């Protein structure tokens, strides 16, 4: 075949699992198969794109981005790939981009089973159908994985890549999965941290400094205040495993997918298979000490002079930042990171405050444009309709579960043959699975509508009022207004500017009610 051809290779999650069981290196195997195919078709492979990262989107796959750019530039007449699914199993918008690039360029897709010619209408439909089916399969696999992770946690297993300090992950001998096993010398450090906090009333910074002075093995940690606080709040040390505290949140910013992992206050705990390092009583005592701490950002006896007090966190190390006034009184105060090992540069307090207010004004404009006054009736109707639909789905789910229980009774009574039981129970289980998916989507939609209602009725008026009066009240009152609106602000500055602009930093403002 005449023309210019390339090869695209990518691993799937299934390939990674197979490699762990001795199936061989996936990309090397695929390259051999496609090279043999190229020889049969008398095709000269001019370049190989090897995707060595796993990603659900085009944005997370640099080799796919380069391949699509090269196809758009007319470099390739055809791409060899083992199967359609290797090109994309992510979001519908990504599949649309892939389909459009191949269709408009006329670039052929050559797989082990078929050659797709985008100029052929039947091939184009077959290609788009293949992408659609791969997306469905991907979502089904993802659901099974999530159910498997949830069940493993319920069984007390450890499902995460990184083990917490004090433990190592070990393979279970009699079943699938892993559990945590105590590292004795590190466990003693964990006990020391808890004892110093509860018995000696030492703060996070003092504990971290003590450990650094002792030259304790940090296990790639720097014993910062944030690190110590994380250890003191981690229920794994008293025998639990958790789920959902740092779940990935997907949002779109300027049309681009953005992944974040905010800390959630509501997460699930399950009894772990591992041995605890500290007692439940001591852990509870620490949490009670946290709860009893004064929430006033600088202490009741001091006057607040910083509108951002208690809200700003270092983007690099996670530690809360503080105001530092100029001792000579001839320079403006700064907001600095207290972590001695952190290289985040201090920011001008006044400029940071002005930038925060500017961000809030932009948020307000966005919220108002998304929630015009005449949408209240429609929002309430949607909310009520979703709740009514949820009740109907719950009733259907209860009915289906009753049918499934009945099939078990009939097989036990000998009324159903094994074949009849398998056929009937399989159909009912599929029905239950579909209803559970419907219920999950409805609950997500209800939560979304509730957030919209809450934002419209409570948050928008509160934000609007705060912006109107902000510069007419004292710093302490400004701080109170912002604490009502903002969960936290992450600050990052990597370049100094002695005589240059003072706003060369980044602020990441997390509202207490996110924009949906």
222 and 100 assigned to the same domain: no
Query: Cβ of 11: how many Cβ atoms within 10 Å?
Result: 19
94 and 42 assigned to the same domain: yes
51 and 82 assigned to the same domain: yes
Question: Stretch 313-341: mean pLDDT, rounded?
Answer: 82
Kindly state whether residue 243 falls inside one of the protein's structural domains: yes
Residue 385 pLDDT class (50, 70, 90 cuts): confident
Beta bridge partners of 348: 334
Kindly state whether residue 322 falls inside one of the protein's structural domains: no
204 and 235 assigned to the same domain: yes
What is the length of the chain? 516
Sign, CA dihedral 94-96-97-98, equals positive
CA 94 to CA 78: how far, in whole Å? 20
Q: How many CA atoms lie within 13 A of 385 on its CB side?
A: 8
CA 330 to CA 326: how far, in whole Å? 7
Kindly state whether residue 120 falls inside one of the protein's structural domains: yes
Kindly state whether residue 41 falls inside one of the protein's structural domains: yes
Kindly state whether residue 351 falls inside one of the protein's structural domains: no
More confident residue, 283 or 256: 283
Residue with tokens 């892939």: 98
pTM above 0.85, yes or no: no
Does residue 265 surpass a pLDDT of 50? yes
Beta bridge partners of 185: none
Kindly state whether residue 227 falls inside one of the protein's structural domains: yes
Please give the pLDDT value at position 260: 63
- Strand ranges, E, within 254-337: 256-260, 268-271, 312-314, 321-324, 334-337
144 and 186 assigned to the same domain: no
147 and 28 assigned to the same domain: yes
Is residue 105 within 8 Å of 71, Cβ to Cβ? yes
CA 445 to CA 443: how far, in whole Å? 5
252 and 288 assigned to the same domain: yes
Q: Which of 114-118, 414-418, 488-492 has the lowest mean pLDDT?
A: 414-418
Please give the pLDDT value at position 22: 47
22 and 64 assigned to the same domain: yes
Question: Stretch 49-55: mean pLDDT, rounded?
Answer: 76
17 and 91 assigned to the same domain: yes
Can you give the C-alpha Rg of the chain in angstroms?
29
Structure-token pair, residue 316: 């690099």
Q: Tell me how far CA of residue 489 lies from CA of 153, 262, 311, 320, in angstroms.
A: 32, 12, 6, 10
144 and 25 assigned to the same domain: yes
Which of 109-123, 278-292, 440-454: highest mean pLDDT? Answer: 278-292
Q: Tell me how far CA of residue 189 lies from CA of 204, 215, 231, 278, in angstroms.
A: 14, 12, 11, 11
Which among 255, 274, 292 is the end of a domain? 292
Which of 2-16, 24-38, 325-339, 381-395: highest mean pLDDT? Answer: 24-38
Helix (H) or strand (E) segment spanning residue 354? helix 349-370
Report the number of distinct structural domains present in the chain: 2
Please give the pLDDT value at position 515: 43
pLDDT in tens, 393-446: 888 888 888 887 787 677 767 787 767 777 887 888 888 888 888 888 888 777
Please give the pLDDT value at position 257: 53
Nearest to 274 by CA among 237, 317, 314, 313: 237
Which of 188-192, 321-325, 438-442: highest mean pLDDT? Answer: 188-192
pLDDT in tens, 333-380: 899 998 878 889 999 999 999 999 999 999 888 877 765 554 454 456
Which among 227, 257, 292 is the end of a domain? 292
Domain of 70? 5-151
Does residue 514 surpass a pLDDT of 50? no
Please give the pLDDT value at position 377: 47
More confident residue, 52 or 320: 320
Please give the pLDDT value at position 516: 42
Which among 121, 151, 181 is the end of a domain? 151
Is residue 446 within 8 Å of 390, Cβ to Cβ? yes
Q: Are strands 249-253 and 5-10 parallel, antiparallel or unpaired?
A: unpaired
Residue 244 pLDDT class (50, 70, 90 cuts): confident
- Maximum Cα interatomic distance, the chain, rounded to a whole number of Å: 92
Please give the pLDDT value at position 485: 87
Please give the pLDDT value at position 297: 54
Q: Which of 96-110, 147-161, 198-212, 374-388 has the lowest mean pLDDT?
A: 374-388
Beta bridge partners of 388: none
Kindly state whether residue 477 falls inside one of the protein's structural domains: no
CA 345 to CA 336: how far, in whole Å? 7
Q: Which of 174-178, 279-283, 347-351 has the lowest mean pLDDT?
A: 174-178
What is the number of H-type helices and E-type strands within the chain?
Answer: 14, 17
Give the DSSP per-residue string, 206-250: HHHHHHHHTT---TT----HHHHHHHHT-GGGGTEEEESTT--EE
Alpha carbon 205 to chain centroid distance?
29
Please give the pLDDT value at position 7: 94
- Side-by-side strand order, sheet with 347-348: 321-324, 334-337, 347-348
Structure-token pair, residue 198: 């509860």
Q: Provide the mean pLDDT of the chain.
A: 81
Residue 491 pLDDT class (50, 70, 90 cuts): very high
CATH of the domain at 90: 3.40.50.1390
Beta bridge partners of 460: none
CATH of the domain at 239: 3.90.1750.20
Please give the pLDDT value at position 414: 76
Is residue 81 within 8 Å of 71, Cβ to Cβ? no
Give the DSSP per-residue string, 372-439: -GGGHHHHHHHHHHHHHHHHHHHHHHHHHHHHHHHHHHHHHTTSS-HHHHHHHHHHHHHHHHHHHHHH
Residue 114's φ and ψ, nearest 5 degrees, are -160, 155
Please give the pLDDT value at position 402: 83
CA 90 to CA 103: how far, in whole Å? 19
Please give the pLDDT value at position 285: 92
Kindly state whether residue 103 falls inside one of the protein's structural domains: yes
Name the burial class of residue 111, with classes exposed (0-12), middle (13-18) and buried (19+) by CB atoms within 10 angstroms of its CB.
buried
Q: Could you give the percent of the chain with pLDDT greater than 90?
A: 28
CA 27 to CA 9: how far, in whole Å? 6
32 and 123 assigned to the same domain: yes
Residue 18 pLDDT class (50, 70, 90 cuts): low
pLDDT in tens, 453-489: 665 567 778 888 889 999 999 998 999 899 888 889 9
More confident residue, 384 or 508: 508
Does residue 5 surpass a pLDDT of 90? yes
98 and 130 assigned to the same domain: yes
Residues with Cβ within 8 Å of residue 337, at least 6 apart in sequence: 314, 316, 317, 319, 321, 344, 346
Please give the pLDDT value at position 460: 78
Please give the pLDDT value at position 295: 52
Structure-token pair, residue 400: 């289906």
């Amino acid at each position: 075949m005449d023309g210019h051809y390339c090869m695209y290779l990518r691993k799937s999650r299934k390939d990674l699992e197979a490699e762990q069981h001795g199936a061989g290196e996936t990309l090397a195997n695929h390259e051999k198969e496609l090279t043999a195919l190229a020889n049969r078709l008398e095709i000269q492979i001019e370049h190989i794109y090897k995707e060595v990262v796993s990603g659900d989107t085009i944005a997370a796959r640099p080799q796919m981005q380069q391949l699509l750019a090269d196809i758009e530039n007319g470099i390739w007449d055809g791409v060899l790939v083992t199967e359609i699914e290797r090109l994309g199993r992510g979001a519908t918008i990504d599949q649309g981009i892939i389909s459009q690039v191949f269709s408009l360029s006329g670039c052929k897709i050559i797989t082990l089973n078929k050659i797709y010619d985008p100029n052929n209408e039947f091939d184009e439909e077959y290609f788009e159908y293949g992408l659609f089916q791969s997306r469905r399969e991907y979502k089904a696999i993802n659901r099974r994985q999530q159910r498997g992770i949830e069940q493993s946690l319920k069984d007390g297993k450890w499902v995460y890549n990184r083990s917490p300090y004090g433990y190592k992950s070990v393979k279970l001998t009699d079943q699938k999965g892993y559990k945590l096993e105590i590292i004795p010398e590190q466990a003693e450090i964990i006990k020391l941290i808890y004892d110093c906090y509860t018995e000696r009333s030492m703060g996070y910074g003092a504990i971290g400094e003590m450990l650094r002075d002792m030259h304790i093995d940090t296990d790639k940690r720097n014993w910062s205040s944030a690190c110590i606080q994380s250890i003191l709040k981690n229920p794994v040390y008293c025998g639990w495993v958790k789920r959902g505290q740092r779940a990935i949140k997907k949002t779109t910013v300027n049309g681009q997918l953005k992944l974040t992992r905010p800390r959630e206050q509501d997460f699930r705990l399950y009894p772990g298979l591992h041995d605890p390092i500290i007692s439940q009583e001591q852990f509870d005592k620490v949490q009670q000490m946290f709860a009893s701490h004064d929430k006033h950002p600088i202490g009741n006896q001091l006057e607040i002079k910083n509108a951002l007090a208690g809200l700003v966190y270092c983007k690099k190390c996670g530690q809360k930042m503080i105001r530092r006034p100029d001792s000579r009184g001839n320079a403006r105060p700064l907001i600095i990171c207290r972590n001695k090992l952190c290289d985040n540069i201090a920011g001008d307090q006044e400029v940071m405050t002005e930038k925060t207010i500017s961000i809030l004004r932009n948020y307000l404009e966005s919220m108002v444009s998304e929630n015009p006054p005449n949408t209240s009736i429609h929002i309430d109707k949607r909310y009520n309709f979703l709740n009514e639909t949820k009740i109907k789905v719950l009733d259907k789910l209860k009915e289906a579960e009753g049918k499934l229980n009945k099939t078990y009774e009939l097989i036990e009574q000998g009324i159903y043959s094994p074949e009849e039981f398998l056929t009937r129970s399989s159909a009912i289980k599929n029905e239950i699975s579909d209803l559970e998916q419907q219920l999950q989507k409805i609950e997500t939609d209800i939560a979304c509508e509730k957030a919209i209602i809450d934002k419209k009725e409570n948050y928008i008026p509160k934000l609007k009022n705060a912006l109107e009066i902000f510069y007419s009240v004292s710093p302490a009152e400004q701080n109170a207004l912002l604490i009502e609106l903002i969960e936290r602000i992450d600050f990052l500055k990597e370049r100094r500017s002695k005589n240059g602009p003072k706003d060369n930093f980044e602020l990441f403002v997390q509202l207490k009610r996110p924009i949906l």
